[in-house]
Amino acid sequence: MDLLNGMQVFARVVDSGSFAAAAEVLEVSGAHVSRLISDLEKHLQTRLLHRTTRRLSLTESGERFLLRCRDILEDVREATVEASGAHLNPRGRLRVHCMSGLGVLITPLIARYSEHYPHVSMELTLSQHNPDPLEEGHDVVISIAHSLPDSALVSQTVGQLFSVPCAAPRYLEKHGVPEHPGQLMQHRRLHLQDFQEDAWLFKGPEGEISVSPEQTFRTNVADAMVKATQEGMGISLLPFFSANLALREGSLVRLLPGYRLRERTIFAVYPSRRFLDAKVRTWVEFLQAQLPSLLAEHVRVIENPEYWARC
């Protein structure tokens, strides 16, 4: 039987004082109410009400059950109100996933978001893959790609990023400074997995140029690649936000400033637009409003000639 419905009808009968009065409020027949109470008693294997032709009264079991019914029905009411208002008021736990290299950008934005929405508890997971939100239980996955495959998931663009070719000054002193993407074929290539394709595609005055220097080192973590490049192991393509600090310090030099690598899009991916939870909606809107300006701050550093003309 529908136990919750039976509890609701039972409480209504007690409050109304009779089956007929309860039936009128519930807009059903008195026979239907009587049958529901009988089914409830059968389910519980105990009598809840003493019935006479003139009045109803609770049994001892009925009194105890009524108290628990009222508590449970109130909890259900509160849960219903909370769930139905989830699309209006951001609150609860928001589970966000992004690739490890983006953590340096996303963490400050989480701090700003929390100031605006203090009732939302953020849970950030960093890894080197783009998971399926439905399979791994994430509310929002922040993904980096040129494009996303067709799926039932919803995606919103929240920013653009590109990589920059970098090397340590001591590497360049020993091996020379490439002036054209084609000259990279004579250099040691450090490859950052997941952030770039196997071929390096540059756009410049003569159009697109694709080069695939021989790889001497691979890693899937941007911080490790920054360190390897600083150690003079070769030339790497670094996401501009990862290269920012090293360029400021002078431990890395930007190469080929007249060429730009193909941009990749940052997407916010989530399961559905239907009944969208307010915390998901406000977080995605916050990313769209805040992330581009944060990325622009890093780009201004990368595009500053001071950081690529040292050598």
> pLDDT digits over 36-59, tens only?
989 988 998 999 898 876 788 889
- The answer to whether the predicted template modeling score (pTM) of the entire model surpasses 0.75 is no
Which fold, 3-84? Arc Repressor Mutant, subunit A (1.10.10)
Residue 308's SS3 state is coil
Share of the chain above pLDDT 70, in %: 88
Task: Supply the pLDDT for residue 306.
Answer: 60
Q: Which of the two residues, 252 and 260, has the higher pLDDT score?
A: 252
- Pairwise pLDDT comparison (176 vs 86), residue with the higher score: 176
pLDDT digits (tens, 9 = 90+) for 78-93: 677 666 665 667 888 9
Q: Where in the chain is the domain with CATH 3.40.190.290?
A: 163-262
Q: Has residue 217 got a pLDDT over 80? A: yes
Amino acid at 26: L
The token duo for 94 is 């928001």
Residue 136 has pLDDT above 50, yes or no: yes
Q: Which comes out higher in pLDDT, residue 274 or 97? A: 97
Strands 207-211 and 215-219: unpaired
What's domain 92-158+265-297's superfamily in CATH? Periplasmic binding protein-like II (3.40.190.10)
* pLDDT band at 311; cut points 50, 70, 90: very low
Examine the pLDDT at 237 and tell me if it is beyond 70. Answer: yes
Residues of each domain in the chain carrying CATH 3.40.190.10: 92-158+265-297
First-residue to last-residue Cα distance in the chain: 80
- In this prediction, residue 301 has a pLDDT band, given cuts at 50, 70 and 90, of low
Strands (E), the chain: 49-51, 56-58, 92-99, 120-127, 140-145, 154-161, 163-167, 189-192, 200-204, 207-211, 215-219, 235-239, 253-254, 260-261, 264-270
User: How far is Cα of residue 96 from the mean position of the Cα atoms in its chain?
Assistant: 3
**152 vs 19, more confident:** 19
* DSSP, res 33: H
Residue 277 scores a pLDDT above 90: no
Q: What average pLDDT score do residues 209-225 get?
A: 88
pLDDT at 96 over 50: yes
Residue pair 84/91 in contact (Cβ under 8 Å)? The answer is no
Please, what is the Cα angle at 234 between 232 and 239, to 5 degrees? 100
Classify 163-262 by CATH class.
Answer: alpha beta
Q: Rounded to an integer, what distance in angstroms lies between the CA atom of residue 287 and that of residue 281?
A: 10
Pairing state of beta strands 140-145 and 120-127?
Answer: unpaired
For helices 19-26 and 3-16, the axis angle rounded to 10 degrees is 120
